[in-house]
Structure 1
């Protein structure tokens, strides 16, 4: 596929899509991004993703050099230009180039980058059989330091936890917050099922306010599944009947083992399957 990458209103092939080495997004992780799924040629929940992008940018005092409406047009044009029926969009806004040093107000020309590609976060067998988690010693950023609700380019916190998981032989790792409560995984939100009730950490537990998380909560309400957004501990994960993760790239994926403990009966459970099927039906109709 001849890939067309959008940078500030122009399209470049993969080899020629470049930003300055003095861009503060590269030098300091100073920028924000969104990851979005493409289903049947359309970006799933595009408006919600763009609103979160704008909120993240506002939180770090970064002005996006266009309107949400123009960004919508440019994202859809990029999808069409790359002729992607199903795939993934990585939308990035950096602070732009500036002199060495932390001062963001010496930067100019924020960079808007739209990459349309395919993605496969986890092997297919994990969606059928479930994946294994390990609890990382690396905790989520303290919300009073850098709010996890900001989807920033600085993902080192998550990467360090990911390294722990991979070294333990697990493709994903569970992260706790500064209070020792369950927050989320390195790239996904987490849900538990106990006695038929769907349980997930609240926003103030130090998590990203996931778009797919919100979709699953909507689907649960439609299906009449009781939901509790409450602080949870590792104990709650250990004794859960079911566990699954959600994310734009991951979609909905079951977890059947954590810290060498089997979750439930060690297989994806009925509520997980019900919500997975409801999610797949929704994206088929998207």
Structure 2
């Protein structure tokens, strides 16, 4: 088993032929933020990609040193000081059929620029629920069709995004971010068992909270807990922390002291 590595130069080196398993949704990706010419949390992203590949049975042969080398090469090639790198891992070429497997995966590195948004989000509850036992929610899959449909429906009614719930009516995540709430200066976030992707920034926020004696709980969060929260925010690798101003008809404090503290701690975090 092996991994072919590609650097996408201005869209001219697209590595996926039509028989690649990625066109059946068999693939993973990582999105890394580039700050001051450096990839943030490079090892954590590498570890999560390896964990996901192992779960799906996709071969991934790239040691961390080579991973880091390719990231820095992309940054230098694009003269990128601030932006992002999307790394896509495909299942590789294989014969037709859902049960077919490839012995050679493909890994593509692609740089991009983006604008960081800071306005508070308006969320609505998703019109359908997720099965928290579905393993697809445990990995950063290339299949984002559910998120695309839900997000477009949210925008049709003037919201920015949706919040998904599971079969038990417990909160999970938005289409692209992990969820946190604050109640009585305590921090709460849905646990992994609720059916979420364990985000990199989520992981760092929990680490920073513990290091700074901020009490937090990974637990099941029902609708009542959400609507009674003092503050709410979401987080992901590119946007960091973004506050939520409204969920359905409930509004939240936009500038909570604990949110401000977490933003400061995250800004100082050595990524």
Structure 1 residue 79: deviation in Å?
Answer: 1.6
- Mapped pair 1:160 → 2:142: no
TM-score by length of 1: 0.87
Q: Does 1:80 align with 2:81?
A: no
* Counterpart position of 1:276: 263
1:229 corresponds to: 218
Give the conservation status (yes or no) of the 8 Å contact 2:181–2:187: yes
Question: Counterparts of 1:53-202 in structure 2 under 5 Å?
Answer: 53-105=49-101, 107=102, 109-120=104-115, 123-124=117-118, 126=119, 130-140=120-130, 142-202=131-191
Unaligned runs of 5+ in 1: 1-6
CA shift, 1:99, in A, is 3.3
Matched, 1:24 2:11: no
Contact 1:161 1:186 in 2 (8 A): yes
Provide the C-alpha distance between the structure 2 equivalents of 1:250 and 1:11, rounded to a whole number of angstroms: 24
- For the 8 Å contact 1:219–1:278, the answer to whether it is kept is yes
Matches within 5 A, 1:251-262: 251-262=240-251
Greater Cα shift, 229-238 or 239-248: 229-238
Q: Count residues with an aligned counterpart.
A: 268
Q: Which runs of 5+ in 2 are unaligned?
A: none
For residues 214 and 32 of structure 2, what CA distance do their matches in structure 1 show? 26
Q: 1:39 to 1:238 in 2, by over 3 A?
A: same
Q: Cα RMSD (Å) of the superposition? A: 1.9
Moved more, 193-202 or 213-222: 213-222
Q: CA deviation at 1:9?
A: 4.2
